[in-house]
């Protein structure tokens, strides 16, 4: 038994224009971190953001669920639409937005609570389910989707911080899934993990694509190539090139992209 997330298609059917960013500029104080970014992100696809350190990948990602709001000095200009709706409009509630656009961070950051409560917290605050069997079901199916259920089903009451790094990151993914988001943002989710745990999460991302729109920041070219269908290359706060992953890696249009993926700098 699984709870119904949505009736989104399960095939390899992309839904174009899930997220559109138009002329986005981001400033940290007087410093301009993003220049005039225009980018379309398809639904039910994995989009990879690559680029050298400090080029603004995380900044862009954090614009998409307005996490930048929590930084006092950060200002965002331009327009970002989710399903055609401006997420920086006054009518948009960030709490609601972040329930629709979940996030997985670079360092696994489970709550210092039990595994069960880690998953149940989101659904509980959003009123998606009450305590009891309904919640148990959400916890189980979220952990199953994150490929963690078999490893933790006997220790749900134990603290989430007691898991291994890779398990913790999958717990964080399960936590993000539990509130039934439409989009999942992942900021270098595997950078703290070993190759086996990484492979596990990559597999997971591929499966999640069926139901979610995924945007992943990565420094690992192979990973971008393996998991994503689209790739955007950022450089010095600009979006240089965005195309099908295959195109980017086999036939980059821009000299800078070529230089980066062939390892000349970054």
152 vs 173, beta carbon nearer other proteins: 173
Site string for Mg ion, 41-80 (x = CB under 5 A): -----------------x----------------------
Nearest to 61, CA basis, from 84, 44, 37, 45: 37
**Residue selected from 18, 57, 98, 230 as contacting other proteins according to rule CB under 8 A:** 98
Residue 150 binds which one of other proteins, Mg ion, ligand ATP, none, with CB within 5 to 8 A depending on kind?
none
Shortest Å distance, C-beta 218 to ligand ATP:
9
61 vs 143, beta carbon nearer ligand ATP: 61
| Binding window for other proteins (CB under 8 A); candidates: 8-16, 80-88, 97-105, 220-228 | 97-105
**How many of the chain's residues bind ligand ATP (CB under 6 A)?**
11
Residue 59 binds which one of other proteins, ligand ATP, Mg ion, none, with CB within 5 to 8 A depending on kind?
ligand ATP
Element containing residue 204 per DSSP (H, E): helix 195-208
Q: Does 168 bind Mg ion (CB under 5 A)?
A: no
What tokens does 84 get? 């055609």
What Cα–Cα distance (Å) separates residue 242 from each residue in 25, 137, 231, 266?
A: 17, 39, 6, 18
Q: Does 36 bind other proteins (CB under 8 A)?
A: no
* DSSP bridge partners of 30: none
Torsion of CA 172, 82, 66, 222, to 10 degrees: 50
Shortest Å distance, C-beta 265 to Mg ion:
17
Residues 21-80 interacting with ligand ATP (rule: CB under 6 A): 28, 33, 51, 53-59, 71
Residues 199-238 interacting with other proteins (rule: CB under 8 A): none
Q: Which residues contact 144 (CB under 8 A, 6 or more apart)?
A: none
Q: Does 170 bind ligand ATP (CB under 6 A)?
A: no
DSSP labels for 120-156? Answer: HHHHHHTTS--TTHHHHHHHHHHHHHTT-HHHHTT-T
Shortest Å distance, C-beta 110 to other proteins:
7
What Cα–Cα distance (Å) separates residue 8 from each residue in 4, 14, 106, 147, 190?
A: 10, 10, 28, 21, 27
Report how far apart the first and last C-alpha atoms of the chain are (Å, whole number).
Answer: 46
Applying CB under 5 A, which residues contact Mg ion? 58
């Amino acid at each position: 038994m699984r709870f119904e997330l949505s009736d989104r298609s399960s095939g390899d059917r992309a839904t174009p224009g899930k997220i559109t960013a138009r002329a986005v500029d981001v400033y940290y104080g007087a410093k301009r971190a993003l220049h005039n970014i225009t980018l379309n992100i398809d639904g039910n696809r994995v989009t990879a953001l690559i680029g050298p350190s400090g080029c603004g990948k995380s900044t862009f990602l954090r614009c998409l669920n307005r996490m930048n709001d929590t930084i006092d000095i950060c200002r965002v200009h331009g327009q970002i639409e989710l399903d055609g709706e401006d997420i920086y409009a006054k009518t948009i509630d960030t709490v609601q937005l972040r329930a629709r656009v979940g996030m997985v961070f670079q360092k696994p950051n489970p709550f210092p609570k039990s595994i069960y409560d880690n998953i149940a917290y989101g659904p509980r605050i959003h009123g998606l389910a009450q305590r009891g069997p309904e919640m148990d079901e959400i916890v189980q199916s979220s952990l199953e989707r994150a490929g963690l259920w078999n490893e933790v089903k006997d220790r749900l009451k134990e603290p989430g911080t007691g898991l291994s790094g890779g398990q913790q990151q999958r717990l964080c993914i399960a936590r993000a899934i539990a509130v039934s988001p439409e989009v999942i943002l992942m900021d270098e989710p595997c950078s703290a993990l070993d190759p086996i745990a990484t492979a596990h999460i990559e597999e997971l991302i591929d499966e999640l694509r069926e139901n979610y729109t995924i945007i992943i920041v990565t420094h690992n070219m192979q990973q971008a190539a393996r998991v994503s269908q689209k790739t955007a290359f950022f450089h010095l706060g600009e979006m240089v090139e965005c195309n099908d992953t295959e195109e980017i890696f086999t036939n980059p249009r821009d000299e800078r992209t070529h230089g980066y993926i062939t390892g000349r700098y970054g």
